[in-house]
Structure 1
Amino acid sequence: MVSPIPSSVKKIWESWNIRGIILLSLSLQTVLILFAPCRKRTSRSLVTWSIWSAYLLADWAASFCVGLISNSQDDDNSSASNSSTTGNQDLLAFWSPFLLLHLGGPDTITAFALEDNELWLRHLLGLIFQVAATLYVFLQTIPKNRLWIPTTLLFVAGIVKYGERTRALYLASLDSFRKSMLGKPDPGPNYAKLMEEYSSKKDADIPVEIVMIPEPIKENKDRNSKNKNNNLSDLDVVEQGYKYFYKFKGLIVDLIFSVSDRIESCELFHSLQPSDALRVITVELNFIYEALYTKLQVVHTNTGYFFRFVSFSSVAVALGLFTSEEKHGFKKFDVGVTYALLYGAIALDSIALFRLVFSDMTAVSLTKSRESSFKATLLGLIIKVTNFLSILEYFLSFKKLRWSQCERKHYTNYKALNTPFFSRRWSESISGHNLITYCLEQCPKKSKSEAENRVYQFFMHISDKILWCWRSGIDYVVEYVGAGDLLDEWTYKFKMPFLQELWRFIFLDLKRKSKDVDDAETVKWICSSRGALILRGVTIKNEKQEVTTKEKKKLRERLIPYIEEVAYEESLILWHIATDLCYYEEEKQDKVDQKNKQEDAHFIIRISKMIFAAVIIIGSTVEEIMKRILMIIGGIIKKVFETVKGTLMIIGVLIEKIFIRKNHGEAAAKVDEKDYVTENDKREFSKILSDYMLYLLIMQPTMMSAVAGIGQIRFRDTCAEAKNFFTRRDVGPIYGKREAKKLFRRGDLDPKAIKAACDKILNVNTDVKPVDVKGDRSKSVLFDACRLAKELRELKEEKWNVISQVWVELLSYAATHCRANSHAQQVSKGGELVSLVWLLMAHFGLGEQFQIKEGHARAKLIVDEPEDPTPKT
């Protein structure tokens, strides 16, 4: 039978299989060490898939190559031996330890997902078998192997590297993570001894009583002194970030924290500015990422430093020995491959060393050493001479959060995060998904430059013409393989900027709620609220919340059923649609007002030019024209007066703030910052949070699984009803073949179609509840949301205050009720705003992970002998 594979192809494979695979393995290691950290800096699927592919291929290539080398040696041993064959076997044996180095992987990635950490035992077995296979390959060349010394050195380095990865996986597994947080067993006071003495005193008729004395909470003087000016340096940020990572990493495994931890954390975050709090939290999340997905916990120890020195030294010495070795009998190309492997290993270790020296963890280690007999150590002397801390702080400054004026439409008045990509600790953006644009099948415009957009549109046009005829087949394939949700995410997911003002708004809201909260019931109430606090006008201790009239209070209370009488996911979709309806209705009104202002301005200019002619020619209408002019001028004067009044109020608040700080200290200078948030700000914040929360519910179902309920079903039913409604009312371009359209007809948003759709929904008579008309079979909430939007209209100037506060509460509820390991999983995919809020609430003491009541105390036995009140503990 004729072989389907030509002999020429077989010869090429036999000649190049080992060489090609081992060079591929080296290339994959280079890709991983350079680009694996990018996955924490972006949520783009293309980056995630690329790193995932390289991660899987790297392990496969190294394991496969060991087998190829072993099989090749068996073939060489069966053939006639000569000097060339012997030299080739020596080189192959020399190459095999490199594969152990590659299986150990780079420092930047040990696990792709949390589940990989749970498979640490499988990697341990893999370590044993791969070491055995490599040792077998090496022993086959003994005793004639001229490279046995450098091979042995590389073998040691390979075992160290692979062992580091296995231990890193073990330490990052959830069981080990939980065990690492458990302190030494605490038996408590010696109850038996105390009661023996108590009984003996009683039997002797000596008056005695037991008094519980609470233990004093230790005050962190260093922390308080650093935060007096509320201005943290880059080193301080890293130090505080690690400190609270170490304290609160138990959140990932649902541990309970002490009262002292809560008090200390609250004191710090109440003293910080919102931007500094964000810096600390992003560093904290970065440490979570490093601990779970890299070799941080293994390398940054004294043992880790020692083994890293052994590994690097072994490779360097092996390079020197191979360079000095006579190359007689070795193939020239194979010698080149060997040098590539050696220099590649040195380069990879050098990159790892550079990252290690200038890492956040190194900064933490040095600041710790500085606080404990730092100057007395040799390391301290070296650092003092080289001024290394200043150099390190310079490198840390590149990672500092950078804010710049936002260039996106609707957000030009705000500042957005704009840190350079390779300096980021997370994605620094907020994802979004919108139900109405999804139902209208309008794809959000991706953020591209003008040139990129032109190339993109040209490519889409060509794809449309060539492949549109295959749309039916494409639809079938997409549905068959279950890629519809993936295409939805790729098509309808969009990015929004992370606004400084939005973070400040969320921070201050949570800060106000956390003040004076000292009992578990209040904390539980705040964490379980989904909008009821703002709707009921609840006052928490010293927080002042204005509800001026009974009428406004009644209007708010009419909204409570949309929060408390529905499930969380239903409430979220209801408020999402209602927010959109209110947003676009008001946007339309804003454009009308703006158009009227422009027309008035143009009218004044025209009138000023024609007024003299008008007086002469149309004498009878002079009075009417003058009235019109005076009316317009009066309107302009009124607007100018309102603007000046608002400006003077802000200046007055600032002057008052400065005066108070000067005369009454920092503690009295806490002006209510919510006065600086305008209604338009709250409107934009509500829109961002609305789209973001729907994105979490629909496109992050794993993360929201604890609160999602039947959110997917309710969303699909609502979309089905919306599409039918829009089709009947001829609103928007509705395409029959959706998957093909998503692939080849990606358009931009049509604001007119969206506004028309919102108007059509609002024009529907909703006097009767939808459930009373169509029953409960469909889970759609489209017209329930329409009823909610009409209720919100009645709030008038309070509308956006209520909506924005409700969205903050919905976000807070999701943050505290999502599973902790979901937050941990998400830090490797760019991070999420909800994870930042999760940590922020924990630091404000708004969570169920804390002991609210004091639990530490000492028992003191008091007898009626003042001279000998010896405490027994």
Structure 2
Amino acid sequence: MVEVIPKQIKDAWDTWNIRGMIILSLSLQIILIFFAPLRKRTPNKFLILLLWSSYLLADLSANFAVALIAKNQGKDPKPDDPPEDKKLVALWAPFLLLHLGGPDTITAFSLEDNALWNRHFLGLVFQALAGVYVVIQSLPNVLWVVILLLFIAGTSKYLERTIALYLASSDKYRNLMLDASNSAFDYTVQANNLDMDSILASEMYMKEHHGQANSLKLKHPDKELTDLQILQFAFLFFNNFTSLMVNNIFSLEMRDKSKAFFSALQLQEEALSIIEAELEFIYEGLYTKGAVLHSSLGIVIRVISVGSLVAAFTIYHDRHNKIQEFQKADIIITYTLFAVGIALEFIFVYMFMLSDGAIAALSKFKDDSDEMSSLKDRMLEWILGLKRKWKGKISREEEVFNTPFLHRRWTGNITMFNFLTYSMNADTERIHNPRGRTCQYLWKIALSPFRYVFSIMQAWSGSIAIWFCDLHRYIIHHVIILPPGENQVTRSMINIFKTFVEFWLSTVPYFLAFPVTCVINFLGIRELFHEIRLRRSLHHEPLKKNLWSFIYSELKIRSQNQDSQESATTKASARRDWASSHTQIQIADHEMLLRYITDVDYDHSLLIWHIATELCYQEEDSAEKNCDKMKREISKIISDYMMYLLMMQPKLMSDVSGIGNIRFRDTLAEADRFFTKKGIRNSRDVNLGSKKILSVDTSIEPSDVKGNHCKSVLFEASSVAKELLKLEEDFGKDKWEVLSKVWLEFLMHAASHSDGTTRLELLSKGGEFINFVWLLMAHFGLGD
């Protein structure tokens, strides 16, 4: 009796473990289904952590549950168990195979998961074998038909996921770009038989069939595009510009057609909408089952999966005497698995039918814009209208693109980081706040308790340091006093004691900080604290219409002038520099400014121009000075955005960043010393700090003073800012016109030279504005 009780307890514990793992696996599937689509709209760290943990645990829990079921099948039934209960538990194994197939909304958490498609294929084989092993152990099983149908559904779902990972792997994309060679053409034979007529015929044939494999039919838009047309054009570009996803090039014919199309758009906002949809298609192709579901094979697999699942549920539900054969808890779990599984499948079908990719694939692309829309296209337009009403109306305000969260295809914001604000621990001031003043005040009220606690901690630490300093001073000057007339021995003892106390009080703070420093260094989290402080200084600005219009117009002009003779000659001479000849010519008369573009590295120049831009921005109030307010604001936004990319996106900027982090830290250290020397370290007044920096005499080159030991660029930036401030006085030029063009060069160079893999990874983290610039440059035929 003593040995039976522990065995019964252990068996009951194993049974509850199986049930718990089944419920956990189902819960993780629900989390992934509903939260995975949100990651393309926001870079929220908590959301990414939730999805990352759920993505990893989903496979682990399913595999562990299958192992528990297999272990449970090998045990002898307990006397009080229903006769067929283990047969029902064996039914859960193919359900777990269905879970391993994963939801449609996420197949890969990162791009590296796509490269492991062969491992998932092996996982499919082994999990199917494990499921077969469980079923064999349960034979003879009265539910074998239901189990067989579930095996078909689960295997189809897992195969669907494996195919999606394979299609999203970079090797597959590169293979799609390689056309089969025409080995039937024999040059040695044909060359001897050519005459003039055959040469002309051959040329005519090549003209007629050039690019036939990748024909891109585009009619220049002569009026505003509808929502359906925007999706159609985006889907067309996505299918024809797939090579961009693996850093390959595309044909000149495709580039010319794309350039002509984007140049002919009636509204600049339409270009943004097309690129938004195109990036969303790229995201779906890389991280979801979109590439499979939009194919005939995917539709067949999905029909088989859903049909098998529904048929299995029907047979199971029609079975009588379930209560006598199985435990009630297991019956409830099985019904839950069926109900949730079928509901999720129909949710998948609903989401697929209403997805932008499905609507674009189902619609008929019209070569002639005047052609009458078909009934199917009118229905799809109506569906898009319903989606817009349900998700919220897109607000195209005068200043910003304010899109509701559910309607966004990316985060819709530009993240900004400012060096001077960070160095002075000042509060960031937003240029435009779409939430309004009321929401801003409510947000400040919500954060006020945390800020209050943090300020108290800072005050306590400062008070403790001041208290130690005062105690040290008081003991030395008032307690330990050498009385006159004492003998030499007494004076020597007092001096020794005074030295000991002075040493102890001056080193106590270091002794207190030493263990903390050792722990931080041992764990290697010093960089983590530095990054946390950097992220606290970030703020977000919505994408403004004037910023997009400026970038679109400038890229359009450069695209039109790209093939001109003047551009060709100057471009060749400027190839050694990171900036194009277009900007160099504009400031060629200002040798000092030009030097900080042509003679310094990209990261060196970016940090100099960033600080110089902020110094000019703080020096000049647009409400009082007669300057180009739009160019001033654009220069500020791009400057802070490029600084954010340099500091917070090192993988993206790895090809152009150089030693940007070293320059940043040296410049920050010099700024700290300078502000401390001027007594404004804790003033948090950026305007005051910028005035102090500009007041320093920089007639002697800062590089001649500091040499090569220090990489700080603080006073080099001050020199550039002073030159910019003199532009209007000496040359009658608006400095913001020059700065906006310079910052566009920074942005273009980073967009065309940033790491392609990281660009695609950012699509799953809310996206980045640089992706839009990169894709727009590609469509205009710009960049390397």
Q: Under TM normalisation by the shorter chain, which class is it?
A: 0.7 to 0.9
Does structure 1 retain, via aligned residues, the 8 Å contact 2:401–2:543?
yes
Q: 1:170-229: CA deviations, max 9, x gaps?
A: 11111111112223324596533332214xx79xxx99999956625799997326x012
Partners of 1:223 and 1:189 in 2: how far apart? 32
Asked whether 1:536 is paired with 2:584, we answer: yes
Partners of 1:252 and 1:514 in 2: how far apart? 22
Does structure 2 retain, via aligned residues, the 8 Å contact 1:535–1:559?
no
Does structure 1 retain, via aligned residues, the 8 Å contact 2:14–2:68?
no
Counterpart of 2:444? 453
User: Equivalences for 1:776-787 in 2 at 5 Å?
Assistant: 776-787=708-719
SS of alignment partner, residue 223 of structure 1 = coil
- Aligned CA distance change for structure 1 residues 385 and 454 (closer, same or farther; 3 Å): closer
Asked whether 1:320 is paired with 2:314, we answer: yes
Partners of 1:463 and 1:8 in 2: how far apart? 54
User: Equivalences for 1:543-582 in 2 at 5 Å?
Assistant: 554-555=589-590, 557-582=591-616
- Aligned CA distance change for structure 1 residues 148 and 532 (closer, same or farther; 3 Å): closer
Query: Counterpart amino acid of 2:452?
Result: H
Partners of 2:246 and 2:534 in 1: how far apart? 30
Partners of 1:429 and 1:7 in 2: how far apart? 60
Does structure 2 retain, via aligned residues, the 8 Å contact 1:241–1:280?
yes
Partners of 1:577 and 1:786 in 2: how far apart? 8
User: Equivalences for 1:642-653 in 2 at 5 Å?
Assistant: none
Partners of 1:524 and 1:335 in 2: how far apart? 75
Counterpart of 2:778? 842
C-alpha displacement of 1:445: 7.4
Asked whether 1:812 is paired with 2:748, we answer: yes
C-alpha displacement of 1:64: 1.4
Question: Unpaired runs of 5+ in structure 2?
Answer: 1-5, 462-511
Does structure 2 retain, via aligned residues, the 8 Å contact 1:234–1:397?
no
Counterpart of 1:67? 67
SS of alignment partner, residue 709 of structure 1 = coil
Q: 1:366-392: CA deviations, max 9, x gaps?
A: 2248889xx9xxxx9xx9489632433
- Aligned CA distance change for structure 1 residues 345 and 493 (closer, same or farther; 3 Å): same
Partners of 2:653 and 2:198 in 1: how far apart? 60
Counterpart of 2:94? 97
C-alpha displacement of 1:459: 3.5
- Aligned CA distance change for structure 1 residues 297 and 582 (closer, same or farther; 3 Å): same
Counterpart of 2:632? 683
Partners of 1:207 and 1:445 in 2: how far apart? 71
Q: TM-score scaled by structure 2?
A: 0.83
User: Equivalences for 1:203-242 in 2 at 5 Å?
Assistant: 215=207, 223-224=218-219, 227-229=221-223, 231-242=224-235
Q: 1:131-174: CA deviations, max 9, x gaps?
A: 1111111111111x222111111111110111111111111111
Q: 1:261-282: CA deviations, max 9, x gaps?
A: 0111011000112100011111
C-alpha displacement of 1:527: 8.6
Partners of 1:336 and 1:686 in 2: how far apart? 62
Counterpart of 2:650? 701
Asked whether 1:116 is paired with 2:113, we answer: yes
SS of alignment partner, residue 589 of structure 2 = helix
User: Equivalences for 1:811-830 in 2 at 5 Å?
Assistant: 811-830=747-766
Of residues 392, 396, 416, the one that matches 1:432 is 416
- Aligned CA distance change for structure 1 residues 13 and 725 (closer, same or farther; 3 Å): farther
Q: 1:401-426: CA deviations, max 9, x gaps?
A: 93444xxxxxxxx5212211111111
Of residues 404, 407, 410, the one that matches 1:423 is 407
Counterpart of 2:473? none
- Aligned CA distance change for structure 1 residues 469 and 180 (closer, same or farther; 3 Å): farther
Partners of 2:583 and 2:562 in 1: how far apart? 20
C-alpha displacement of 1:489: 4.5
User: Equivalences for 1:613-692 in 2 at 5 Å?
Assistant: 679-692=628-641
C-alpha displacement of 1:55: 1.1
SS of alignment partner, residue 364 of structure 1 = helix
- Aligned CA distance change for structure 1 residues 221 and 491 (closer, same or farther; 3 Å): closer
User: Equivalences for 1:579-594 in 2 at 5 Å?
Assistant: 579-587=613-621, 593=624
Counterpart of 2:255? 262
Identify the range of structure 1 (35-44 vs 455-464) with the bigger mean alpha-carbon deviation.
Answer: 455-464
Partners of 1:839 and 1:526 in 2: how far apart? 24
Does structure 1 retain, via aligned residues, the 8 Å contact 2:73–2:134?
yes
C-alpha displacement of 1:534: 5.0
- Aligned CA distance change for structure 1 residues 15 and 139 (closer, same or farther; 3 Å): closer
Identify the range of structure 1 (206-215 vs 445-454) with the bigger mean alpha-carbon deviation.
Answer: 206-215
Partners of 1:535 and 1:294 in 2: how far apart? 41
Query: Counterpart amino acid of 1:261?
Result: M
User: Equivalences for 1:734-753 in 2 at 5 Å?
Assistant: 750=684, 753=685
Counterpart of 1:293? 287
Counterpart of 1:302? 296
Asked whether 1:181 is paired with 2:177, we answer: yes
Partners of 1:59 and 1:764 in 2: how far apart? 62
User: Equivalences for 1:131-280 in 2 at 5 Å?
Assistant: 131-143=128-140, 145-187=141-183, 190-198=186-194, 215=207, 223-224=218-219, 227-229=221-223, 231-272=224-265, 273-280=267-274
Query: Counterpart amino acid of 1:66?
Result: V
- Aligned CA distance change for structure 1 residues 194 and 789 (closer, same or farther; 3 Å): same
Partners of 2:139 and 2:10 in 1: how far apart? 30
Counterpart of 2:469? none
Query: Counterpart amino acid of 1:584?
Result: Q
Q: 1:302-361: CA deviations, max 9, x gaps?
A: 111111011011111111112112312211121111111111101111111011111122
C-alpha displacement of 1:838: 0.5
SS of alignment partner, residue 760 of structure 1 = helix
Q: TM-score scaled by structure 1?
A: 0.75
Partners of 1:685 and 1:458 in 2: how far apart? 35
Query: Counterpart amino acid of 1:364?
Result: A
C-alpha displacement of 1:481: 4.2
Counterpart of 1:833? 769
Does structure 2 retain, via aligned residues, the 8 Å contact 1:718–1:782?
yes
SS of alignment partner, residue 593 of structure 2 = coil
- Aligned CA distance change for structure 1 residues 97 and 8 (closer, same or farther; 3 Å): closer
Of residues 678, 684, 694, the one that matches 1:762 is 694
Query: Greater relative contact order: 1 or 2 (C-alpha under 8 angstroms, separation 6 or more)?
Result: 1
Of residues 699, 717, 720, the one that matches 1:788 is 720
Question: Unpaired runs of 5+ in structure 1?
Answer: 1-5, 406-413, 539-551, 595-641, 643-677, 735-749, 849-873
C-alpha displacement of 1:245: 1.0
Counterpart of 2:734? 798
SS of alignment partner, residue 707 of structure 1 = coil
Identify the range of structure 1 (64-73 vs 169-178) with the bigger mean alpha-carbon deviation.
Answer: 64-73
Does structure 2 retain, via aligned residues, the 8 Å contact 1:524–1:847?
no
Query: Counterpart amino acid of 1:564?
Result: T
Partners of 2:307 and 2:619 in 1: how far apart? 69
Counterpart of 2:467? none
- Aligned CA distance change for structure 1 residues 364 and 387 (closer, same or farther; 3 Å): closer
Q: 1:741-776: CA deviations, max 9, x gaps?
A: xxxxxxxxx5xx111111111111111111211211
Partners of 1:208 and 1:96 in 2: how far apart? 67
- Aligned CA distance change for structure 1 residues 691 and 428 (closer, same or farther; 3 Å): same
